Structure 1
Amino acid sequence: MLDPQTIRHDDLRHGQGPWLPGIARPPGRTLAADTRCDVVVVGAGITGALMAEHLTAMGKDVVLIDREREGFGSTAASTAMLQWEIDLQISELAALYGFEAAAEIYRMSFKAVEQLGELVGQLAIPCGFSPRPTVYLAAGEVGPRELLAEHEARRRAGLPGDFVEHADLLGRFGFDRAAAIVSPGSAEADPLSLCHGLIAMATKRGARLLREEAVSYDGSGATAAVTLKSGRVVEAGAIVLATGYVMPDCVQDDLHRVASSWAVATVPQAPEALWPGRALVWEASEDYCYCRTTTDGRIVFGGEDEEIEQPEAREELDEAKTEALRRRLHALLPKARLDFSHSWSGAFGQTEDGLPLIGRVPGHPRLLAAYGYGGNGITFSFLASRMLGALIEGREESWFRHFAIDRPNPA
């Protein structure tokens, strides 16, 4: 039996983001007796919600478990910039795994955002989902020459986008940077409403939502089982771990590490303070900041990441990080009002190669997991739901190997 780590939602994030519950979802219930299902999903954040929706659409009998309010852990801390561009440039990824592998990974990420948009439209989830371009700004040691090389690598991979020099960038968006890559195909959403809308659809199809705490997993036998703190057992054909960055010992991987990020949301801005097209904006530097807008005209601005896991250490930096974000926001958008309505911080999992850990847990054939999303949380969550759904049905594609939990560290 495998024991999960115990962590509360308050440890996953601190402060309050701008997302509020907007979609009714059935309350989680406790389990009165042992039960069975096809798949038990542990964790009812955005990954678990996408997983439950997809599995119920496949006709699976699903039990979805969370010890606290669904979506109010890491999901509520997400800035929900649904980008297909990942933390490592395609040229950096190619240096690790070869150009063809890097190109395939980027194309799968692009397709994931597109398919997520289609899903939200089909289900009519009111979550503020809007297609957006991205503006990838020169920053730090990454100047026009480096961005142009990255643009050429993307074009070779069949990915869309334009290299934009200073004058055009300033005229089109108002950003006083040396250059940028402007690309279509990304999106934004309200992550909490998206999560709750997916859960509502899954439960409408018969998924059972439990407000219970999982204390151990067994995925090594002829069937899988999750033991709850109440002593009840959920038996299943497979277990999916969708618990954010909180990984049980059996999923430990030398690629994975935990970091913390900080974010703020301004008061609603005057239209002239916002950039045209409300693109998703991020910087081409290791210590990058990123921003987007909300449907009511706020600017959500984040960054200042640190490799900190302990909640207390993260919270001690909240005030200093908020002020640092204020200065960086002013430097990028000098016309913006710097009054903040919300500020928050959260922990997230990331990997050395910028790719998630998705697939079967080695040595535990009925235990599947999805971790290490980095800056592409919801995009990789969608990708995980499709990959794990296929594995549960016994289907495996060649590209799944790029995200294998036991892939070797390329360093």
Structure 2
Amino acid sequence: MDLLSGQPYWFYKNGVLHAYPFLTENIDEEVVIMGGGITGALLAWSLTEAGFPVVVLEKRHIGMGSTSGSTALLQYEIDTTLTELIDLIGEKQAVRSYKLCVDAIYKAQEITQSLAVDTHFSLRKSVYYASKKDDLEMLRNEFDTRRKHGINVDWWDAPTLREHFPHLKKSGAILSHDGAQVDAYRLAHALFQHCIKKGAKIYDTVEVIDIQHHQRNVTLILENGFKIRTKKLVIACGYESQNYLSKRVVDLNSTYALVSKPIPQSTLWYQNALLWESARPYLYLRTTDDKRVLIGGKDEKFQSAIKRDKLLRSKSRLLEQIVRKLFPELPFTVDYEWCGTFAETKDGLPYIGTVHEHPDTYFALGFGGNGILFSVIAADIITDLLRGRRNQDAPIFRFDR
């Protein structure tokens, strides 16, 4: 699948951080991870730390799938509000899924702090505003629900919102105190380099063309003719993972993003908070460590990469106009623009775990608007499952939910 087009900012900023070898032999390994993006990297880190020998296979260059185009807002809020999720799956599991995402923010912080490389992780507040007046009641109910269940939020009425964002003429917002941002491309490489030092083997430009399941192991057939035999396979191929499932679990969308040139002031708006709105599809904004504005959104249902790419220029101009309207005082000039494909599920939650049709295979499908945090959760769950431990949260994300 053609996942990205245009100029994904994180690759242009960082360049080729590391080179990884090409696999040219048959090998046996206890655990193989298919996917060399941020999800595969977090899984490799978790499993390596737990003492598992790990091999990672990526058909592109490391981090050059969706990870290089990730806008990397780390928000506990999923694409389905907590209020809606309670109606869909029940209060206990809905609240637990939200709190797992809150915990994942601080787990991600711990992971980044343990690495030798600065991945530009930083904690951020998040402002979730009503796109129109008709959304205000829904947003207020969502605030009450979060507050009731112990999530750290404040309510901003219109005057309070205008006090912090003078040009944001909206009727109200939820201020969340738990949020973060990171350079996902840089983080993926840092995690893999850490794993390599602990004995993991990372290969890229290696494509798996067939997966054969046997009674006690799985054999992967590579495009170059070599084979890998493993006791356990973990599929972390992002939105392409649907290719390995007979049952459709996702809908694909096209999304658009751009980044400005650096702006010569350290604080671009209130505490450089993450910004997003109640409309669906929604807009989202963040800043970067080098003082740029990143804005994304204006999603469309995915039809083809060609149709997605044709809209890039018009969508970018629209996003640029929105930024200029929201922050007219900022000297905003577009520097990079790109588009990509992402997937969403029926309830906004990821799919993590096993399916009957693929023995000894585990899926980490961190779909949706906060896939990085879902990947942190997936890494914990799958590590427990491979250890033979019961994970009490695994049922929330099972395929047959």
Give the TM-score normalised by structure 2. 0.94
Q: 2:103 aligns with which of 89, 99, 111?
A: 111
2:254 to 250, 257, 260: 260
Alignment gaps of 5+ in structure 1? 1-6
Query: Percent of aligned positions with the same letter in both sequences?
Result: 33
**Shift of the alpha carbon at 1:272?**
8.5
* Preserved CA contact (<8 Å) 1:151 1:161: yes
Aligned to 1:368: 362
Matched, 1:128 2:120: yes
Instruction: Give, as a single letter, the amino acid of the residue that structure 2 aligns with 1:168.
Output: T
Of 179, 182, 195, 1:186 maps to: 179
Match of 2:79 in 1: 87
Relative to structure 2, which stretch is displaced further, 390-399 or 79-88?
Answer: 390-399
Aligned-partner Cα distance in 2 for 1:143–1:248: 33
Structure 1 residue aligned with 2:45 = 53
Matched, 1:231 2:225: yes
Give the CA deviation at 1:191: 1.1
Q: Matches of 1:396 and 1:348 in 2, distance apart? A: 31
Aligned residue runs from structure 1 range 62-77, under 5 A: 62-77=54-69
Residue of structure 2 in register with 1:101 after alignment: 93
- 8 Å contact from structure 1 (residues 255, 353) kept in 2: no
1:337 counterpart residue number: 331
Partner SS, residue 127 of structure 1:
coil
Query: What corresponds to 2:153 in structure 1?
Result: 161
Q: Quick one: which of 237, 240, 245 aligns to 1:243?
A: 237
Query: What SS class does the counterpart of residue 395 from structure 2 fall into?
Result: helix
Tell which deviates more after alignment, 310-319 or 368-377: 368-377
Correspondence for 1:322: 316
RMSD between superposed Cα atoms in Å? 1.8
- Per mean C-alpha deviation after superposition, the further-off stretch among 349-358 and 220-229 is 220-229
Unmatched 5+ residue regions in structure 2?
none
Which secondary structure does the structure 2 equivalent of 1:247 belong to? Answer: helix
Which residue does 1:4 correspond to in 2? Answer: none
State the partner residue of 1:139. Answer: 131
1:201-257 per-residue CA deviation (whole Å, 9 max, x = no partner) reads 011111111231111123452112211111111111111111110135442444411
| CA apart distance, 1:385 | 1.2
Q: Distance in 2 between matches of 1:303 and 1:197?
A: 28
State the partner residue of 2:194: 201
User: Per-residue deviation at 1:123?
Assistant: 2.0
Q: Which 10-residue stretch deviates more, 22-31 or 248-257?
A: 22-31
Q: Letter of the aligned partner of 2:104 in structure 1? A: A
**Aligned equivalent of 1:3:** none
Q: CA deviation at 1:401?
A: 1.2
Aligned residue number for residue 351 of structure 2: 357
What is the CA-CA distance between 1:396 and the residue it aligns to? 2.7
CA apart distance, 1:295: 1.0
Could you tell me how far 1:28 is from its partner in structure 2? 2.3
* 2:352 and 2:378 in contact (8 A); partners too: yes
Query: In the aligned structure 2, how far is the partner of 1:371 from the partner of 1:309?
Result: 21
Distance 2:32 2:248 in 1: 27
Residue 396 of structure 1: aligned partner: 390
| Counterpart in the other structure of 2:7 | 16
Shift, 1:159, TM fit: 0.8
The Cα of 1:24 is off from its aligned counterpart by: 7.8
1:389 positional shift: 1.2
